[in-house]
Structures are given as C-alpha cells and as structure tokens.
C-alpha cells in the first residue's frame, strides 16, 4: 500500500507556495505526478504490475478510488512516489533508488492513498531516471515463472514483502557496515531466483561502469 511519507520541511495542509532558494524550481502538483508516471513507465513498472496483479498482489486492492474498468480515479503524489518491494528492488539493483527517494523527499503532503500536496511548491533536485524496461521485462518473466512453479498461493507476494522489508532495513542502518552486509546478503539470496533479471543486470552494470 502507499506508505505514509512525511516531509519535515514542507508540511501538509497548506496551499501556500514556499519561498525559493536560488537553485529551486517552482513545480506544480500535476507536473510532479506526471514526472513520476513517466519515470515509472521508463523503468517498466507496468510490466511487473501486470504479473503482480494477475497473482493477486495489487496494491490498489480495496481502495475506494479504484474503479472497475477505469483504474485509479485519484492519481496523487503519495501513490506515485510509493514503491512496493518489486519496484524498490528494481531501483535498488540498478542503483536508481536513491535518486527516486531524494526526488520524492522534496514533495510535501504525501499521505496514504491521497495527498495534501500544494498545487505549487519548490524543488531543488530534478529526477533523472533511465529507461530500463529490458530489466523489468526480465524481472516480470522471472516472477511469472516463480508464480507458476510454486503452487503455494501468494508465493511471489510473500517474496515481495520480504525484499521490501530488507531494503527498508538497509536504509535504517546507514552507519553499521556489518549489519548492512548481512542485509545485502539477504537481498541477494531472496533475489537469486531472478535468473533472467540477474543476466540483464550484469549487462546493465557493464554498460554503466
Ligand atoms: S504491489 Fe507493486 S507490482 Fe504489485 S501492482 Fe502494486 S506497484 Fe505494481
Ligand atoms: S489512490 Fe489510486 S493508485 Fe492509490 S491505491 Fe487507490 S487506486 Fe491505487
């Protein structure tokens, strides 16, 4: 589910425009959502979502803003910024997660399945993502294969939650190298069945060295 993400400097419930520092850029709520949607499209989130939803893992399940045949009727900054374990892993493995987090940390008023983001606000850092649809295609194929192989209902969804938890834990122990190494090993083990993805990832890192 979309997570609650407070912004310490820019509090919700205000429609005011914040005073800009010299390098800051005025941004509208709508354009920030569009930037996020375009970036997600570039990384191929739709390919992974298709497999996840087919296997009962939709994060929109039960949301009052979801309409049959139409989809989300309340596109907001919170749900755009939020990443599930699969998408978090995709960005973690490709080194794009910090870029994503740093961008969204600047967007005020994120909540749960709705936002209190002002119509206009200022951001300092633009979002620079890459097109990595070949990687998400590989991950989606791996996930579908795992879901088919494992008869246990929700196998890939449980995997998604475990990966999610580990990546979050990693962010919470930035100054503890031993703990970080342990968590990184966990993530490696959890993602070891993603064979197609790991192959594409090696290529990606080779090209981006
Ligand atoms: S949980 Fe993740 S993969 Fe599944 S539908 Fe939501 S965003 Fe897509
Ligand atoms: S608000 Fe939209 S994107 Fe967010 S959970 Fe509901 S249907 Fe999904």
Distance between Cα 8 and ligand 1 center (Å): 27
Residue with tokens 């989606």: 140
Ligand 2 centroid, distance to 151 Cα (angstroms): 29
Whether 190 is in the pocket of ligand 1, judged by its Cβ within 6 Å, is no
How many angstroms does the Cα of residue 82 sit away from the middle of ligand 2? 10
DSSP-derived 3-state class of residue 131: coil
CA distance 148 to 80: 29
From the alpha carbon of 82, which atom of ligand 1 is closest? 7
Least confident segment among 84-88, 96-100, 171-175: 171-175
Which residues, other chains included, contact 118 with Cβ-Cβ below 8 Å and sequence gap of 6+? Answer: 14, 15, 16, 17, 29, 108, 109
- The pLDDT tens digits for 133-160 are 999 999 999 999 999 998 777 999 999 9
Question: Hunting for tokens 């009052």 — which residue is that?
Answer: 64
Other C-beta atoms within 10 Å of 39: how many?
Answer: 21
ipTM above 0.95, yes or no: yes
pLDDT in tens, 43-95: 999 999 999 999 999 999 999 999 988 999 999 999 999 999 999 999 999 99
The stretches of 57-123 forming alpha helices (DSSP H) are 77-81, 85-93, 97-104
User: Which residues are CB-neighbours of 72 under 8 A, at least 6 positions away?
Assistant: 60, 63, 65, 66, 79
Distance CA 70, CA 199 (A): 36
Ligand 2 pocket test, pick from 37, 77, 79, 80 with the greatest ligand atom count within 8 Å of Cβ, gives: 79
Is 40 a pocket residue for ligand 1 (Cβ < 6 Å)?
A: no
């Amino acid at each position: 589910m979309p997570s609650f993400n407070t912004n310490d400097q820019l509090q919700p419930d205000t429609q005011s425009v914040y005073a800009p520092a010299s390098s800051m850029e005025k941004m509208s709520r709508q354009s920030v959502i569009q930037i996020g949607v375009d970036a997600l499209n570039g990384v191929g989130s739709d390919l992974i979502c298709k497999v996840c939803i087919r296997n009962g893992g939709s994060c929109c399940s039960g949301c009052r803003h979801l309409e049959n045949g139409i989809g989300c009727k309340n596109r907001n900054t919170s749900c755009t910024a939020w990443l599930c374990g699969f998408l978090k892993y995709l960005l973690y493995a490709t080194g794009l997660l910090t870029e994503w987090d740093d961008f969204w940390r600047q967007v005020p008023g994120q909540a749960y399945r709705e936002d209190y983001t002002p119509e206009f606000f200022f951001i300092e850092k633009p979002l620079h993502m890459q097109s990595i649809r070949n990687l998400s295609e590989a991950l989606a194929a791996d996930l579908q294969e795992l879901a088919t192989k494992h008869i246990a209902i929700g196998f890939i969804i449980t995997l998604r939650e475990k990966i999610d938890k580990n990546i979050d834990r990693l962010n919470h122990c930035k100054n503890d190298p031993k703990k970080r190494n342990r968590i990184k090993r966990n993530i490696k083990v959890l993602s070891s069945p993603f064979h197609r993805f790991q192959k594409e990832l090696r290529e990606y890192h080779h090209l981006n060295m």
